[in-house]
Amino acid sequence: MKLKTKGRYAVMAMADLAIFKDEGPISLTDISLRQNISLAYLEQIFIKLKQENLVKSVRGAKGGYVLESPPEEIKISHIISAVDEEIKTLNCKKESKRGCNNKSSKCITHNLWDQLDQHINSFFEKIKLQDLVKKNQMIDK
Amino acid sequence: MKLKTKGRYAVMAMADLAIFKDEGPISLTDISLRQNISLAYLEQIFIKLKQENLVKSVRGAKGGYVLESPPEEIKISHIISAVDEEIKTLNCKKESKRGCNNKSSKCITHNLWDQLDQHINSFFEKIKLQDLVKKNQMIDK
DNA sequence: TTTAATTCATACTGAAACAGTAGGATTTCT
DNA sequence: AGAAATCCTACTGTTTCAGTATGAATTAAA
Ligand code: FES
Ligand code: FES
């Protein structure tokens, strides 16, 4: 069970944006350098963040990205789901032959994974971007 | 973020073992048929479960596996960690150039993933094999 | 004593997913 | 005009996953 880089980077980048939110649009080049993430990869991530209205873009020179909402209103769950697809602990949905759906009823462990899913999502749900920034405000920069 | 089949199958198989625990050693063939999991794959999984003293094996014909402890004493966390390696949400340990370890200090999101890790583990920690069996005792067989 | 059923052990493999790269087009500030 | 940025999409090497495959060792039963 592991986290993918897209989710990890997205949260990092959003946190970076939150820290520098008073300095106008932040370019991905800046974020790339500060957080040590590939620029081209960040571009892909930000397209998704933009689609979810988490950030606003400013094109052209001196452009960049700005948070759409204040950091205290942005849930981590929103960021993760925007780029990292989803938490997949259940197996039964996709007609897999193995393990599940063998008897057209739910497998022994279905409820367990379902609860796990909720447990993880509730974690991301209750943490806001602001919660990350506070702790790192004085460390970074 | 997704669960791997090894962890999923291991919990399934252990639950199966718990359900039929009064019928002597249960063969992997039985589990394979009941839970619809590849036999050869189950064999690999059970070697690990055995190493962790979660099950005991009986070799030869009429052999099979038996739980080492009563279902109410077996934590899901133990099963998962026995086969599924670990929950990997942190990235900083392994000298990766990208994202973490850029400043020889922890990245902005380190604490978040660390907490997530604990959150997930505590979930597996508090659920016992018996909790799964109860709910499915009458459904299966 | 032979056969069948089982665990044990290890090596191999096809397919998919991941984590990026690459290359260019478009927009806008200076 | 030129530089700095976002935008867009296709491609790709590597690793991981999920299983196969093969054979040996052990033991109950016929
Ligand atoms: S996880 Fe839903 S049926 Fe197995
Ligand atoms: S997760 Fe530990 S430094 Fe980034």
- What is the number of domains present in chain B? 1
Q: For B95-128, what is each residue's pLDDT tens digit?
A: 556 778 655 678 999 999 999 999 999 999 999 9
Closest residue to A113, CB basis, from B3, B15, B38? B3
- Which residues on neighbouring strands pair with residue A67, listed in sequence order? A55
Confidence (pLDDT) at A140: 41
| Rounded distance from Cα A117 to ligand 1 centre (Å) | 12
- Calculate the angstrom distance between C1' of D15 and CA of A65: 33
CA angle at residue A118 from B119 to A135, to 5 degrees? 40
When computed from its CA atoms, the radius of gyration of chain A, rounded to whole angstroms, is 18
Residue A108 to residue B11: CA distance in whole angstroms = 9
Distance from first CA to last CA of chain A, Å, rounded?
33
Q: Please, which residues bridge with residue B75 across strands?
A: B128
φ, ψ (nearest 5 deg) of residue B57: -105, 150
Residues of A in contact with B139 (CB under 8 A): 105
Residue nearest to atom 1 of ligand 2 (CA): B110
DSSP 8-state secondary structure symbol assigned to residue B67: E
pTM, whole model, 2 decimals?
A: 0.91
Angle between the B76-83 and B129-136 helix axes, to the nearest 10 degrees?
Answer: 110
User: Which residue, among A2, A5, A21, would best test binding to B if mutated, counting the most B CBs under 10 Å from its CB?
Assistant: A2
Checking if the pLDDT of B12 tops 90, the result is yes
Q: What is the pLDDT of residues A1-56, one digit of tens each?
A: 999 999 999 999 999 999 999 999 999 999 999 999 999 999 999 999 999 999 99
Instruction: Retrieve residue A103's tokens.
Output: 């008897």
**d(Cα A77, Cα A98) in Å, to the nearest integer?**
30
Measure in Å the smallest separation between the Cα of B57 and chain A Cα atoms.
Answer: 23
Q: Minimal CA–CA distance to B18: which of B105, B76, B97?
A: B76
| Residue B58 lies in domain | 5-140
CB pairs under 8 A between A and B: 129
pLDDT digit string, tens, across residues A89-104: 888 865 556 778 655 6
The pLDDT score that the predictor gives to residue B140 is 42
User: In this structure, what CATH number is given to the domain that contains residue B16?
Assistant: 1.10.10.10
Q: What is the pLDDT of residues B36-61, one digit of tens each?
A: 999 999 999 999 999 999 999 999 99
Which pLDDT band holds residue B141 (cuts at 50, 70, 90)?
A: very low
